[in-house]
Structure 1
Amino acid sequence: MNELRHLLQEIRNQKPLVHHITNQVTMNFLANGILASGGSPMMAHHYEEAEEAVMAADALVLNIGTIDPSLVKAMVIAGKKAKQLGVPVILDPVGAGLSRLRKDAVQELVEQVSPDVISGNAAEIAFLMKGEWGGKGVDGDLSGNHEELALHAAAKFGSVIAITGERDAVSDGKERITITGGHEILSYVTGTGCFSTSLIGLFLAKSLETSLSACQRAAGALSMLGICAERAQAVSAGPGSFQTALLDELFRLKPEDLKTAGRWSLGGIQGGK
């Protein structure tokens, strides 16, 4: 898809500013990943500056991985301002069903901010749909039909839904894209799931001109991560060297290398597209 190639080139030319209120465990990796991919990261977390910070941003990423009440306050303030300004808001509901704090935070963000994209694993998106949490830790139960889940969740919330996993599924409630590829070693490095959300934010940046839909832009971000993961795994010895190699490959990827052939399968409510 030539438009994806042009989009990545525009990212590299413009270096969109992605404002993060995010997971403290993965913050350094997210910042380096956005820099390597061609964007510019900002990590302004306090609620007293959240509104001013988002006024300078091209996208806002909200990640509840290490949540606390003051952070929720900052997210709501920044999210509301972003929506007023037409700045895309991308929410990662990490471990959404693990605790009452997380459940309440996600509910407040969905209701008050109405994110443009909600990106998470299957357990997190299933929890938003059904209110049930399985497994232990923040991962929960990752089984089930990801494509149908993304389709129905997008229709319910009015947001693009991106479900990451062994295969990725993205939907806006009508269009549906399944992305294959990547490598299982991604699951052995903390922050790769969070980074997929940040990369979606970069691809949806307000300042970029493209005819691609938000669904296609999100799928393009996940395709880029998959391609770079495959290349990084081929030259690494394990998770430690893979993380470094992944940053290198994000930096080295040429726009013309961002191809969807063999990776995307398309569908929707009315069948194939």
Structure 2
Amino acid sequence: MTKLPHLLKEIRLKKPLIHHITNQVTMNFLANGILAAGGSPMMAHHYEEAAEAVMAADALILNIGTVEPDLVKGMILAGKKAKANGIPVVLDPVGAGLSLLRKTAVADIMDEVSPNVICGNAAEIAFLSGEKWSGKGVDGSLAEDSSELARYVANRLNCIVAITGKEDIMSDGSETMIIRGGHEMLSYVTGTGCFSTSLIGLFLAKSVTADLTTLERVAASLTYLGLCAERAVSAARGPGSFQTAFLDELYLLNAEELDEAGRWETVLGGNN
């Protein structure tokens, strides 16, 4: 028996409030996903209320998928308030290197907020490295070792970094974990990458006190996502029915079935 079932049970019991300042394209999916998993979503975006609203939350998600200056202003105000009050902040740097607006937004959020966790695909995380890693676009991939990339960026930015893909990789700069599982059908539904970030926030919720490290909680969230995707595929005929089945599995998965056995590999990193 692992600690993961207890973590999921506690989430479902306490129903943590997860504040999203997020992607307008995927907002409905993220809200439904958090509800199905056992949490409670909040989508207070405007800068005039974001900092006030976050004080009721258990975690804050910042996603620059449909970025605009006023949205970034709200992210920074809410992020600073969250960090000052021990509320975990998770950043999804969607398309981080695509435009000057996105580059500036990510830089400002990093400087002003210092998120606890950054979650993105390999190309997005590579942009944050400040080095010349290969990659492309929002759906980019890297030829280089993603586990080394995660470790490098975690050390550079002093936070936990999660890279989602065929294998999910996360690092706190000294310990690096690889999670196997999931299904390629996830890549055919808009918002599943954004939802990875939302789930991380749910599993990091301030009110949840399960005895796991922050890195283990991040790994638990992505393990849960992958397992639900695997179960959903058997009931799906294509992307549309998969999305519905995936939401169902987030709700139906018995906590006792959440187990890292055979899925987690821990890799010790090099010098920090």
Whether the TM-score (by the shorter chain) exceeds 0.5 is: yes
> 2:126 aligned with 1:129, yes or no?
no
Which structure 1 residue ranges, 5 or more long, are not aligned?
none
- Partners of 2:208 and 2:240 lie apart in 1 by 33
Deviation of the 1:270 alpha carbon: 5.7
- 2:17–2:42 contact (8 Å) kept in structure 1: yes
> 2:15 aligned with 1:19, yes or no?
no
- 1:97–1:131 contact (8 Å) kept in structure 2: no
**Are the structure 2 counterparts of residues 133 and 174 from structure 1 closer, same or farther at C-alpha, using a change threshold of 3 Å?**
closer
- 1:93–1:124 contact (8 Å) kept in structure 2: yes
- 1:83–1:113 contact (8 Å) kept in structure 2: yes
Aligned to 2:115: 115
- Partners of 1:205 and 1:247 lie apart in 2 by 20
Aligned to 1:101: 101
- 1:177–1:264 contact (8 Å) kept in structure 2: yes
- Partners of 1:167 and 1:134 lie apart in 2 by 18
Any idea what the Cα deviations from partners look like across 1:154-173, whole Å, max 9, x if unmatched? 11111110000000001111
- Partners of 1:228 and 1:31 lie apart in 2 by 17
- Percent of residue pairs bearing the same amino acid type: 65
Paired positions, count: 271
TM-score normalised by the chain length of structure 2: 0.97
- Partners of 2:145 and 2:182 lie apart in 1 by 19
SS of alignment partner, residue 119 of structure 1: strand
SS of alignment partner, residue 260 of structure 2: coil
Aligned to 1:37: 37
Any idea what the Cα deviations from partners look like across 1:161-189, whole Å, max 9, x if unmatched? 00000000011111211000000010010
- 2:126–2:135 contact (8 Å) kept in structure 1: no
Which structure 2 residue ranges, 5 or more long, are not aligned?
none
SS of alignment partner, residue 210 of structure 2: coil
Aligned to 2:156: 156
SS of alignment partner, residue 2 of structure 1: coil
- 1:133–1:141 contact (8 Å) kept in structure 2: no
Large movers: runs of 4+ above 6 Å = none
- 1:181–1:227 contact (8 Å) kept in structure 2: yes
Structure 1, 60-69 or 130-139: larger mean CA deviation: 130-139
- Partners of 2:19 and 2:149 lie apart in 1 by 28
Any idea what the Cα deviations from partners look like across 1:93-115, whole Å, max 9, x if unmatched? 00000000000000011111000
